[in-house]
Amino acid sequence: MINFNEPVYLEKSMEYVKKAILINKRLNGDGEFTAKCTEWMEQRFGGAKILLTTSCTHGLEMASLLCGIAPGDEVIMPSYTFVSTANAFVLRGAKIKFVDIDPRTMNINADLIEEAITERTRVIVPVHYAGVGCDMDKIMAIARKHHLIVVEDAAQGVMAKYKGKYLGTIGDFGSYSFHETKNYSMGEGGALVINNPAYNERAEILREKGTNRAKFFRGQVDKYTWVDFGDSYLPSELNAAYLWAQLLHADEINDNRMATWNAYHDAFRPLADAGRVELPTIPADCVHNAHMFYLKCRDLEERTALIRHLKANDILAVFHYIPLHSAPAGQRFGRFDGADVYTTAESERLLRLPMYYGLTETDRNKVIAKVLEFYAQ
């Protein structure tokens, strides 16, 4: 069976995990490997403060708390996203306003955001689908005009860029995912990106259970104490050690995934030219990270048949999100602003093909051959 996803595994990962256990004798957070991962990301992505977290979900929850979200506030985001994007703000009592997507990228349609803004709006959450950047210039201009905060959901966006800037480092906050389904994995984990230094100290306190423990370890206070509300968002050193090996090989992993993405794109270009499928669109301002490769089938019926065909040939291909506004919780905690022209229709056509580091050329070629076989029928 050719799996849809397999988590990254490097030999060095186990070496670093063993070091954390046997040599450093430290399993809790903010040890050697947490520090290494953090420093690597801050240097690579450029200047922002980054805090490793237990998940991208928790990174978004921290951002929501730092934004001061309160009951009755409104938050604008696409409906075509994972539940964590909305949950982070719903937990604080916010009402979600869903905006339609741009069918070319599956990202929020920036031209529709301003129409959804009211006096209650506090935050805009662009979600960089498939590691392809949203129209951040337009989104940031709207946010500044209306004095709103921008929280980038860059769960899928690690290593991708918009106009030369890394995704997650453009808005006020960003959140990365290192879940096992992502390009770089620590099993469960993520990172909060803080692009406004005014939030740095409070973010540290929030992450450290409401204490100023981080300042204590830097020698800035002689003891630490409870200074504000907070929670425990520190990942284990074991998770960080596993991730560290991948960050050292980040470009190699990225190049390997890009080779698969490009092979798919080249192979299916004739199908797209013939109008049989649609391929992902990468805007000229964006550098993507090969997080996923998807095809858009004619309709739901054709997608279902293609999934069945591939599974019969031992290939797992999967659809993606059910739009949040159509879910029971989405109807309870939010509403769709304007017309749902593309969100539902495009979600029913999209099919993701196997994509992971180490996917062999033989397996990749089999996926290509079986997709082409389906459309040759």
Both structure tokens of 23: 């040599």
Same fold, 11-248 and 250-376: no
Both structure tokens of 189: 């984990």
Q: How far apart are the first and last CA of the chain?
A: 23
Report residue 107: phi and psi, to 5°: -90, 165
Amino acid identity, position 344? T
Strand 286-287 and strand 173-177: the pairing is: unpaired
Answer yes or no: are the C-beta atoms of 45 and 18 closer than 8 Å: no
User: CA-to-CA distance for 82 and 90, rounded, in angstroms?
Assistant: 13
Both structure tokens of 323: 């739009």
> Residues with Cβ < 8 Å from 369, sequence gap 6 or more?
none
User: CA-to-CA distance for 373 and 57, rounded, in angstroms?
Assistant: 39
Instruction: Decide if pLDDT at 216 tops 70.
Output: no
Instruction: Decide if pLDDT at 222 tops 90.
Output: no
- Residue 52 β-bridge partners: 191
Confidence of residue 254 (pLDDT cuts 50, 70, 90): very high
pLDDT reported for residue 213: 75
> ∠ at Cα 363 (360, 368), nearest 5°?
125
Instruction: Kindly report the pTM of this predicted structure.
Output: 0.96
3-state SS of 51-88? Answer: EEECCHHHHHHHHHHHCCCCCCCEEEEECCCCHHHHHH
Answer yes or no: are the C-beta atoms of 171 and 182 closer than 8 Å: no
User: CA-to-CA distance for 319 and 307, rounded, in angstroms?
Assistant: 9
pLDDT reported for residue 48: 81
Instruction: Decide if pLDDT at 218 tops 90.
Output: no
Please check whether the domain covering 250-376 is classified as CATH 1.10.10.350.
Answer: no
Instruction: Decide if pLDDT at 115 tops 90.
Output: yes
> Residues with Cβ < 8 Å from 16, sequence gap 6 or more?
33, 241, 242, 244, 245
Q: What is the mean pLDDT of the chain?
A: 96
Dump pLDDT digits (tens) for 272-304: 999 999 999 999 999 999 999 999 999 999 999
pLDDT reported for residue 33: 98
Answer yes or no: are the C-beta atoms of 42 and 48 closer than 8 Å: yes
Extents of the domains making up the chain = 11-248, 250-376
In words, the CATH class of domain 11-248 is alpha beta
Instruction: Decide if pLDDT at 217 tops 90.
Output: no
pLDDT reported for residue 210: 82
Positive or negative, the CA dihedral 78, 81, 84, 85 is negative
Both structure tokens of 328: 């029971």
User: CA-to-CA distance for 122 and 148, rounded, in angstroms?
Assistant: 5
The SS3 of residue 23 is: helix
Report residue 61: phi and psi, to 5°: -65, -40
Answer yes or no: are the C-beta atoms of 190 and 183 closer than 8 Å: no
Instruction: Decide if pLDDT at 268 tops 90.
Output: yes
Dump pLDDT digits (tens) for 334-355: 999 999 999 999 999 999 999 9
Q: Which residue has the tokens 């909060």?
A: 192
Across 58-83, average pLDDT: 98
> Residues with Cβ < 8 Å from 272, sequence gap 6 or more?
278, 279
Across 235-244, average pLDDT: 97
